[in-house]
Amino acid sequence: MDRLVSTLLSLALLLTGVPALAGGTDHLKKARQAETGLGGPRDYQRAYRLYCLASLEGESDAYYYLGWLTLHGRGVPADRGIAVGWFKRGAKAGDITSGNVLARLGEADAKRDSRCPSRPLGQQPAPALVAQYVALLAPEYDLDPRLVLAVIRAESNFDPRARSPKGAIGLMQLMPQTAKRFGVKNIHDPLQNLLGGMAYLKWLTGHFGGELPLILAGYNAGENAVAQYNGVPPYRETRGYVRRIVREYSRNDT
């Protein structure tokens, strides 16, 4: 009953335009909107991705919702064991509804959900963990995760401490002025750096009408250089960069 009341209250607040889930994270709010279809089309896959991010931010409600989506096969394949694993985490965090569901399902077949990162990104994340985060975040920027990973590999080879001779920093090698332009407050934080890089890629995608060579050239040399030469600039570094990423991206396009 508590869960039903909470859900109905959230829906009512969304309908009236008042921010729901006061004090909660933006990811949790967006996940509820994606799951319920309020404020846009219903999208269970997006809801799952955002609940994963919310769970990493300590939002215990996300455990229940992840369990419910997984139990019923909404956005991800139905898997009782993974659902039980989420409800178990919810119950441990003090969620009564998760505990009630767990009592009915039992705990014997609990499994961890390997699609959702098990820990925050941190300051020196392993490439596999970065890939998990990119899989969750890239769709929020209308980007293919495989493309983002190819850019990361070309830019920094997954080293959050990488710094170029020109002063580009981090996983996606953001220049300080680019980071500021896209709202990155701490360029040295791997998560903020990734978000800033993806925001720039999204902007370039719109600016160049989805033309991949121009998008990549803009990321490497700046959009003004692309405009100056009306195409990929005749810089050896930039042309090699574009060829490398297009080749890798095309090879993985299966």
Which is more confidently placed, 102 or 25? Answer: 102
Q: Give the residue, 197 or 122, on which the prediction is more confident.
A: 197
Total residue length of the chain: 254
> Is pLDDT of 114 > 90?
yes
Question: What is the per-residue pLDDT for 20?
Answer: 30
Per-residue pLDDT, 88: 95
The helix, strand and coil proportions of the chain, stated in percent and rounded to the nearest 5, come to 60, 0, 35
pLDDT value, residue 108: 84
For the stretch 65-78, pLDDT in tens is 999 999 999 999 99
Among candidates 212, 188, 199, which has minimal Cα distance to 138? 199
Q: Which residue has the higher pLDDT, 145 or 2?
A: 145
Sketch out the chain's domains with CATH numbers. 2-105 (1.25.40.10), 127-251 (1.10.530.10)
Output the pLDDT for position 8. 37
- The H or E element spanning position 250 is helix 236-251
Q: Which residue has the higher pLDDT, 12 or 60?
A: 60
Tell how far CA 94 is from the center of its chain. 27
pLDDT in tens, 190-231: 999 999 999 999 999 999 999 999 999 999 999 999 999 999
Q: Give the model's confidence band at 237: pLDDT under 50 very low, under 70 low, under 90 confident, else very high.
A: very high
Active-site residues: which are they?
A: 155
Nearest to 196 by CA among 157, 236, 168: 168
pLDDT value of residue 253:
64
Instruction: Give CA–CA dist 104/94, Å, rounded.
Output: 17
pLDDT tens profile 147-159:
999 999 999 999 9
Q: What percent of the chain has pLDDT over 90?
A: 81
Q: How many helices (H) and strands (E) does the chain have?
A: 13, 0
> Predicted confidence band at 250 (pLDDT cuts at 50, 70, 90)?
confident
